[in-house]
Amino acid sequence: MRYWWVNQNQTFRQERAGGFIGSPKRNADGRRNPFYEFMREVAPGDLVLSFEGTFIRAVGVVQSYCYECPKPADFGTAGPNRENIGGKVDVYYRDPEKP
């Protein structure tokens, strides 16, 4: 089992509600996106720490390996430079416990 820190500043709401993390294959300038490459290493059972703003907003358990999919329609204007095809990993999220 591995742990993954995922910065979701632009898409946290959509990814948390949809139960996934996602990344485009390429950056806006057409270069390969290193975050997509890391997503290909994620495996079921790994833990995801979802960071948004200045907090860990959710903790998730990975449910699938990375698979190819189009940019989610509900991203709207979030990630405007995001390539249309990317990778997606299914995640079961839980809210962190409060002290």
pLDDT in tens, 33-65: 788 888 899 999 999 999 999 999 999 999 999
Q: Does any domain span residue 57?
A: yes
Name the pTM for this structure: 0.86
Q: What is the pLDDT of residue 18?
A: 93
Q: Does any domain span residue 99?
A: no
- Residue 87 belongs to domain spanning: 3-94
Question: What percentage of the chain carries pLDDT values higher than 70?
Answer: 90
Region of 50 (left: φ > 0; alpha: ψ -120 to 50; beta: rest) is beta
Residue 74 has pLDDT above 80, yes or no: no
Of 48-52, 62-66, 73-77, 80-84, the one with minimum mean pLDDT is 80-84
Q: Does any domain span residue 67?
A: yes
CATH of the domain at 47: 3.10.590.10
Query: How many structural domains is the chain composed of?
Result: 1
Q: Does any domain span residue 75?
A: yes
Q: Does any domain span residue 44?
A: yes
